[in-house]
Every structure is written in C-alpha cells, then in structure tokens.
Structure 1
C-alpha cells in the first residue's frame, strides 16, 4: 500500500501547487514544509478528497481517492488538523477512544483489547495523569497530544498531522516525533506531518515534501534540504545513544546532513567507515574497499550490504 500523487494541480479557484508528483511507501515518515499560505493544508485536504484536484490524481493503494467513500478514506487515513473542534465534556480517554469507533456503531462498548490499546497509547504519550481530565482543562500541548492519540488508535495505514508540534515544548515534541517514527517503522505506517521546525523534524523524517513557488519538491530529507539553502542551518543533534559516528570529511553542512541520516537509520557502530565528499560524490572507505555514492539515498541502500 502506498500514497501517490500524479501530475496534480492543487488549489481552490486558482492553482497553489502545479504539476505535483510525489509518493510515500509504508514505513516512511514524511515532513511537509513550506511558508504560510503556500498550500500545505490544501494539499492535505486534497489527499482526503475534501477538496477536488484541478488536474491529475491522488492514489491510495492504487485506488483514486475520488472514488473512495468517506468511510473508506477514514479507514485508510487518520488525520489531525492544527485547529480541531474540542468535544464538550470529553475526557482524554474519551477522545483517544474515539479512534476506535470507525469500526463500530457509536453506541457499542469497546472490547477489552481496544481499551488496553487506548491505555497503552495514553501512557506512551505521557498523558496518564490526565486520563480522566476534561479536554477543556488541558494545556494546548496536552490537548494536541490527546488528538494525536485519537489518530493513533484509529489504526489506519496512513496518519496525517497538520502542524502537530506547534504548541509543544521540546520534551513533548520529542515524545510525539519518536512515537510517530516508532509507529511508522514497527507498525508499517505512512506518517505525513507538516511543521516549520525542520531542524528537529529532519532527525525523524525519511522524506520531505517542500512547497515553494507553486512547486512540490520531494525526496529523501537530506537531499531536499541541500537543494535549498534557505532551509539549512548547521546544528547537530544526538538522538540515538547507540549510534557511533564514522569519520566524515566534508563541509559542515553536508556533514550535518550525513550525520543525521546515518544515526536516524542505523543504530550501530559505524566508526570503521570513513566518508569523504569529493566535489558532489561521497567516497566511502570500509575495510580497505572504496565505494562511491551520488546521493544520500544510495548511501542508505549501501550501508546494510556492507555492515
């Protein structure tokens, strides 16, 4: 199953994104980024078929979204918008449990295994102390986490989140991003989320969709970042305690991109590797052998075959 955009013009009366082409496969996390007003939310609504395309098609598992019913889209896609209506008199547990009701008539009681899953998600999102708290009494950050929990319990293959970390402090940003990446990798889901905070997001996303000048640039995160100078700023984060970095000989910004790519994808000791950027080619030395890669995508595919 995958999500695919083919030659799509996206917008309302006028085109915001022209001739968009992109795809996501199961197990991938994608960051959607762009300035305010460029069409990020419009793109999300087009995937949900809440807005019709001006041209082209969007496919889920090779099925055109315009041919899917609302219930079929809900079973395939869970979504959290940045501004969600707060159900009155609902607790955190009530809201997160709502994700299960696409599978039952609303008046049915949830099964014991469903309730156990809801409790597990509440704990993972660090919301246990707020289980029975009314939503109207939550901080903006914890309320956002509760809505994300509702999306997770829906157990859809695709989860889309519009600015999920906007109201969160650094601790809670990390909780959300780690949870989303864990979901993608362990439960084989597609996670698409928009954010302005690319410096944190690049540590957790596999791909990036960047909207600029009515165009959708898509690809592996580090490749897209290096193609757009306005996105990059040098700063290294150590998020993986099991990762041992290789030797990297390159300008600092390329070093940052390679460092984040490797620690994100390989929880292992890579100290026996040496990476050197020669013009636009990465030269990789390992056990007296030399390998050459033209992109980060090639590096990700090469390393498992060597180590």
Structure 2
C-alpha cells in the first residue's frame, strides 16, 4: 500500500506538549481508529494534521511532502474533515450541504457537472437521507445532521478523510451503516480513513490499525496487536465506576462477563474477590470456599452473594 501520512518525532500541544515523540505512518486503503480519554490530545492531533495547530517539534509528511509547504487550500484538497461539533449553515438543505464538498476542487463560480450530481445522489441514497434531500439543516435530528456533514466530506473525494467522533449522535443501525460505508470507501476506492471514538470495540470489526493516546504517548499498530498488548481492553474492569467494588473471578464469554460485572458493581459496594462465578450452558455457578450454587438469572446471583456475605459477618 502507498504511504500517505508520515509523522516523525512529532510533539503536539500548545504551550506544553500533550503528546510527544510520535513516530507513525498510515497508508491509503487503511481504516484507523484514534482512541484516548477526553483531553489527552486527540482533537489537537487532528488539528495539527490539518495545519490548524502549530507543530511543537518534529515533522508531518503528507503524500511525501512536508505540510509546512502546504497552503490551507492544498491541505483541504488532500484531507476531508468532519468535526463532532460544526457550525450549521442555516437556510441550506441536505443536498446543498453535500454539494459544498465538490467545490473544494473548483472555483466558487464553477457549476458542478452531471457526474458530480450523480455522485451526490448516490451518497444521499447510501446515507439513507433521500427523504431529507431538500430539508433545511436546522430541521434535522442530530443524527441525520451528522450524516449530512459526513456526506459533505465524502463528496469532497479527497485521498484522506478524518472524522472526529463521527458516530456520537447516531443510533446503532446508523453507526454500523456509516462505518461499513467508510470501510468500503477505504478498500474499494483506496482512501485513508482516520476516525476518533471512545468505543474501542469498533476497532475489532472496522479498523485495520489503532492509534491510542495515553500518558503523553501514541501507541500505533495493527488493531489486534494493540489489543493483545493492552489486554485491559478485553477486561470489564475498564468500566469500573465503583472504586469500593472488587470483582469476583468471572469465567464467562466476553459479553456475559461484561454484563455481569456491570450488574455486580451496581449492586455491591464490597470486595467479592473471594468468590468465583462461572457461566456454562445458560447457567451461572457461584463458588465460595464453602459451597457451589447454580442459578438461572442475575437476580438469583445477587441474592446468593448477599446470603453468603451475611453468613460471614
């Protein structure tokens, strides 16, 4: 695959660096998930790639050229962008907003041709926005407005598309539809897609690579390799919001494991590490030092644990 984006010894931030010594490269045809907690530098990195933030140290090469040599217009031709928060151009319809994506390549007085119009119609259909084609943007739901902005970026037809939290306002069906469409664009049309999200589980199905910002560093690599190096991603304690709660050992498939963990930490404010809970053939078993009990529901598990805890007081 052709290398398109190359970061060398890059440090980003404002007066103080948020992320330091970044060395990573991306290729056309790849889908990449950018992860990290709020405030760690995801949006700052995106803005630095767009030459909207000053580089603190190092270099960014876009299509083999240092971005220092790019004008803002030239960068816009290479990278389409969808921010999670964007100004809404009132009095414009969905179709007119998506049309704007074409004008990045043309003078303002240029009229889009039949091929462009056909491309826009196809995008509107793929984004399931046909019934809103002539609807003014201020009358759209947050989800459909987000899809319209994504449509504008796709219409731009740039080699790279960056999306900052693109699925925030989307329901599950639309989230999957957008991510499938982005992956299809990457693979069939050789686009580089970089999208940020808090939901790391999206990576397993849609992302070839992960960029994970943590502790002022960026880990970059194949999705599966990053997940294997950071197995806490696959452990439900990442959802721990009850610091007095200590989980029992849970032996169950991932979904059941995560749901049981969530259920227990909502209902117990104690250390349950002396217990083990297993799941097999639709039955749960609670194992303590003194007994093993079988249960068919989470409510039964809760009652069993409460009984066992009371018996030790």
1:29–1:181: 8 Å Cα contact kept in structure 2?
Answer: yes
SS, match of residue 150 in structure 1? helix
User: Over aligned residue pairs, what C-alpha RMSD do you find?
Assistant: 1.4
Deviations 1:112-165 (A, max 9, x none): 110100000010011111100110000000100100000001010000000000
CA distance in 1, matches of 2:109, 2:92: 16
The 5 Å alignment of 1:194-209 reads 194-209=196-211
Q: Which shifted more, 99-108 or 140-149? A: 99-108
TM-score by length of 1: 0.75
2:229 is aligned with 1:227: yes
Q: Deviations over 1:177-206 (max 9, x none)?
A: 000000000000100000011112321000
Question: Please, what TM-score do these two structures have when normalized by structure 2?
Answer: 0.74
Partner of 1:108: 110
For residue 145 of structure 1, what is the aligned residue in structure 2?
147
Once residues 234 and 213 of structure 2 are traced to their aligned partners in structure 1, the CA distance between those partners, rounded to angstroms, is 15
Per-residue CA deviations over 1:28-53 (Å, capped at 9, x if unaligned) read: 00000000000000000011111111
Q: Are 2:175 and 1:193 aligned?
A: no
Task: Indicate how the Cα distance of structure 1 residues 155 and 147 shifts in structure 2: closer, same or farther if over 3 A, else same.
Answer: same
Dislocated runs of 4+, deviation >4 Å: none
Distance in 1 of aligned mates of 2:13 and 2:202: 29
Secondary structure, counterpart of 1:105 in structure 2: coil
2:182 aligns to what? 180
Partner Cα distance (2:19, 2:136) in 1? 40
For structure 1, the residue ranges without an aligned partner over 5 or more in a row are: 235-250, 254-307
Q: How does 1:287-306 map to 2 (within 5 A)?
A: none
Q: 2:8 aligns with which of 3, 6, 27?
A: 6
CA distance in structure 1 between the partners assigned to 2:169 and 2:99 by the alignment: 22
Change (3 A) 1:9 1:148: same
Asked whether the 8 Å contact 1:177–1:201 carries over to 2, the reply is: no
CA distance in 2, matches of 1:89, 1:108: 21
- 1:167 partnered with 2:169: yes
Bigger CA radius of gyration? 2
Q: Is residue 137 of structure 2 the alignment partner of residue 135 of structure 1?
A: yes
Indicate the SS of the match to 1:27.
coil
